[in-house]
Each structure stands twice: as C-alpha cells, then as structure tokens.
Structure 1
Amino acid sequence: MTAGGDFLLGPAILFVPADRPDRFGKAAERADAVILDLEDAVALGDKAAARTAVRQSRLDPATTIVRVNPAGTEEFAADTAAVASTAYRTVMLAKAETTDQLDALARAVPGVRIIALCETAAGVVRSSALATHPSVVALMWGAEDLVASLGGTSSRRADGRYRDVARQARSSVLLAAGAAGVAAIDAVHLDIDALAPLAEEAEDASATGFMATACIHPGQVATIRDAYRPTTEAVAAADALLTAAAGRAGVFRYEGRMIDEPLLRHARALVARAASSPDPSS
C-alpha cells in the first residue's frame, strides 16, 4: 500500500482565519491549498461572521479545506451546517480523538473528505484507528495542543528543536497514516521568520513521507515548496538507478551499493514527487 492515496493538495498548505475573507483569494493564489480556519484563528465572538464568510466564498473546492471546531461542541454543529451549504468537501476536524467524532462529521457533511487533526494525547494514541475511517484522506498532527493536553508548557527546546514527546507524536501520526494508506501533513512552524529551521523540518518531512506541511504565513510557502522539491541532481541519480535496474531481478550492485526493491521504491517516489512539483524557474 502506498501512503498518500489520491491526496494532491501539497506541499504548502496555508491556514487563513475564516473571519478574514479579504485574505482568502491572496492565500489561494500563493499556496498549493488553503485552510479556512473556523477554530483557533477565530475569536468566539467572530465565529458567526466567519461561517458567513465561508458560505459566501467561491474558492476552488479542490484546493480548499475548512477546519471546523471539535466534535461535540456547539460550534461544531454550526460549522458543519455552514460547510454542508457550500461546495467545500475537504474538512479538517480539530482535536480528533474518536471514530465516533468522524462519524458525526460524515453525517453532517455528506461526501466529506476528512483530515483528522491529531493534536491531543488521545488523538495521537488513537491515530491508527482514525486513519482507517472510510472518510479520512489524511492525518495531520499538532504540537502545541498536544503539549497542552499533557499539562506541559512548551513543545520545543531552547534551540528550537521539538522535545521528544512531540517527535514521538509526529512519528506516530506519520506511521498511522502510512499504514492506512492515507496522507500525512506535518505541523506548522510558528516562528514565521525562522526560515532555515522551517526548511530543515520540511526537508525531513518530505524525505520521510509526509505529503505536505501546513503553514501560517505566505512567506513560508516558498521555503516549504523548495524543501519538498527534489534537486536536479537527486532526480538524475534516481533516474539513473531506475535505468540500471531495468530488466534486472533481485538484488544487484550499483555504484558500490547493494540495491534491492525498497531502494528502487525510494527512487520511484522521488521521481514522482519531482514530476508533481516542477521547478518554477524552469
């Protein structure tokens, strides 16, 4: 089974507050997909206006996600009613923890494609079950709500790197998504100006199988795209390896390395990713 399925939204997915419709079009132009956020980005008193803005928006449904408030809340019911009245059918469920919650979303929005956001301890622990729900097309993880759910105070060390529990959660969600054959989306990087650390994390995300990285500012989009785009040298090396493998059966030696099927799958994945993310300078 190949992780990711038909998920084609990445690699740079940009959050935009749903109560800021003046930003919708600009966000859609700059990123590969947008997330109209009805949850944390919108103050309680502004949520009704945000839902109205979502209803009135006319973005491309194929590249638009709506994040709704957690299942079981009053806001969830109002959010899903708003989404159901639109053409948008890719919905991110905040603080997803149980398949019953996913069922509730599927009932509220017919034909929904769910991105389950695993951002609490319960959500991360149950990520494997969430990933196998028939309406789920992707999992995403989140560090800040996760640490808050544990009673902690910080997801990162002083040097900016994730603490061990966040790294474990990230890996757990990626593995759950991969096992179920759905996409995995990496968490946002909150330090908007720290592009070098963002590039490092996004490159790691791409190399390990994440299909996209979420972001909170248009200035992060180019860094994420560059990190996910294989280099010309890497693509040439992968092509050469696949050419050398043509007609061979089993393990063989190539440029001093033992080559077997997993390494060929790496090469095929890299070539496929390059084809789906062309260099804008070319």
Structure 2
Amino acid sequence: MYLPGAFVLALGALRAEPRITEAFRTGDGYGWDRHDADVFDGCELFFRPGYLANLVPSWIPALNDVQDKLAAGARVADVGTGLGASAVLLAQAFPAATISGSDYHHGSIELARKRAAEAGVANRVSFEVASAQTFSGAGYDLVTTFDCLHDMGDPLSAARHIRQALAPDGTWLIVEPAAGDTVEANLNPVGRIYYSASAFLCVPNALSQPGGYALGAQAGEGPIRQIAADAGFTQFRRVTETPFNNVYEARP
C-alpha cells in the first residue's frame, strides 16, 4: 500500500463532511460520484501498489485454471474499474487477453481510457459507463470486482448480473477489504482504518443507490459468501489474503 495515497483520499473525503453529516441525518446517503476528485485519485494511489504487488504474482495463480485462460486470450470484465488500474495491469501481464472495464462514474471512466492509452493497451482494453447491474457483454472467462462490492447499494443484483455474464466455466474474482465476521475480529489497526472509511464513504455511497443494502467495508467473509450463494454461485472459497485484502473465488 502507498500510505500517502490514504491521506489524499482522507483529505478529499473530509471536504464533504457537512454533506455527509446531513446524509446521516436524512438517511439518503451520499454518492461516490459526488466527492472531490482527490477521493478518486487517493483511492487509486492507496490501492494500486497492492494490486501491482499481488494481482498477477499471487491472486491470479491462486484461482483454478484462470492463469492459463488469460494467457490463451480470455475475455475479462473488470466491474467497478475506477481509474482502470486493475484492467491495465491485467492487459499488460496477459497480451492475448481482452478486458472490458465498467464504472458508473463518468469522470473515472474518462481517466481510465486515458491511462490505458498511455500504457499502450487501449487496443485490448475498453471502458464503458455502466453500473455493476448493467455492464454489457456475456460469456466472460473472468469477472473481477476490486474493493467495490461492499460499496454497492444492491450487491446481490450485481452478483446475479455477474453470474449471467460469466461463461459456464467462468470465474468471479472478488477482492474485498480485509475483515472478519465479528466486531472483535476487526479491532486491529487495519480494521480501525476501514471502519472509518466505511462509515464516511462506503455506507453513505451504498445508501445513495437503489437496493437497500449497506454492507460496508467490514462485511467479512460470511456476507460475501451469502451474496454469492443467493446469486446462484455453487462454489465459493477464500483463495488468499493480504493485510489489507481478502481474495475470494466464486464459480457457477
């Protein structure tokens, strides 16, 4: 993790403090897309080094059969792609693969397209403005969600759409903040950081969307497993973890 990025993220988020306060009073929530640009930039600065260090070296190899599919030219959907860091990393590591990134935030998608062009992978990475419940395409070998499922107002509907978009032998890679299923399991330095981010960013964002869910950053494995099962996935396992992330595999 690049900790200075966390400070950029935090300072950007604090600019919305009066509006977050009002969102707590009304229960209306506060959308991610309404935050200061430093929130988007800081989030990528904070998480991208973790993806760089782990996505290709350890997370992809931990999944069943996925690395070979990517090497052979798999089709990938990166849902909630943000500024496209994860999509670009996958494209750079697997030159035969094609990646479709999606995010509901227009500004992030504009930057993601710019980043892909600068990295020289724009011919194999495309981006669209779409929610996790409406992204386009089908028959994907791999669908990825990086640190975003817990932010969604209707993660179950998103999971169902992902299930429909996957090939019969496809894989859903779910990367979520490191969390336990109980309060006491999260009483540690990382948990304290994530509880703060969850209360200020994640839960208000989920409440701003249709669906009625508010998982928050400290959802733990149990709620994620339940969403996958309710969406029709028959296989679910935690494949690996870091101090900041839990990594899960769900398959039809």
TM-score class, shorter-chain normalisation, is: 0.3 to 0.5
> TM-score, normalising length from structure 2?
0.36
Larger radius of gyration: 1
